[in-house]
Amino acid sequence: MGKISTIETLLEAGVLGIIRVDDDESLLQISEALRSGGVHCLEITLTTPGALRAIEAVVGRWEDVVMGAGTVLDGSTARQAILAGAQFLVTPTVELDVIEVAHRYGVPVIAGAMTPTEILGAWEAGSDLVKVFPAGFLGPEYLKAIHGPLPQIPLVPTGGVTSETAGSFVRAGAAIVSAGSWLVDADGARAKAFDDVTERARLLVGEVTAARGEIRT
């Protein structure tokens, strides 16, 4: 899958599921649970032990899953993630060397930012989409205020997104909503409560689909 088709797939899906757990024992099972719930765009944070192995395993297992690496902090790590099969990269802040490596290898990058200046700076530096973090703290009204003067920038609210807030973020202008701890609860992962992960995935996808339908009508 090329860079343009990856971006198109992310935008069409509208939901990005973040996997951040304490160990790598259940990464494949969590990925499968999210996939079963309709979340086919996944991000495994590199703070998770065994993240690169899991990325490689998921990419080789399901053709309908787009797998990215999250919490990429430098160019060297970005290259490792891409070589492991990561189809997109996500950073918590504007990391110019990560953007440079992503461009070199033809991989989309979603750089994290908060203020209008940071968001525009990330976009002008070459970020293909911009992660707005922490979205739960900032709220949908903040995203709406940013989207107004910067409609050309695909915004990805991240941090604190749930099924209850996802629709509001979409209506405020989010290109994609990205959910982590609400979607994949660390305690639930340790307890192997994978059915709960699937159900939350279904709820999230349903809310985003409904909100997009409202916008179109």
pLDDT tens per residue across span 60-73 = 899 999 999 999 99
Q: Give CA–CA dist 83/77, Å, rounded.
A: 10
Domain count, the chain: 1
Q: What is the mean pLDDT of residues 182-210?
A: 90
Q: Answer yes or no: is pLDDT of 84 > 90.
A: yes
Can you tell me the distance from the alpha carbon of 20 to that of 51, in angstroms, rounded to the nearest whole number? 9
Q: pLDDT class for 185, splitting at 50, 70, 90?
A: confident
Residue pair 142/113 in contact (Cβ under 8 Å)? The answer is: no
**8 Å CB contact between 15 and 42:** no
For 83, list phi and psi in degrees, rounded to 5.
-65, -25
Q: Check whether 217 has a pLDDT greater than 80.
A: no
Q: Read off the CATH number of the domain in which 142 is found.
A: 3.20.20.70
The domain in which residue 33 lies consists of: 3-216
Nearest-angstrom CA–CA distance, 185 and 16: 15
pTM for the whole structure: 0.96
Q: Which residues are catalytic?
A: 43, 131
Percent pLDDT > 90 in the chain is 89
d(CA 79, CA 86): 9
Q: Are 49 and 21 in contact (CB under 8 A)?
A: no
Average pLDDT on 98-107 reads 98
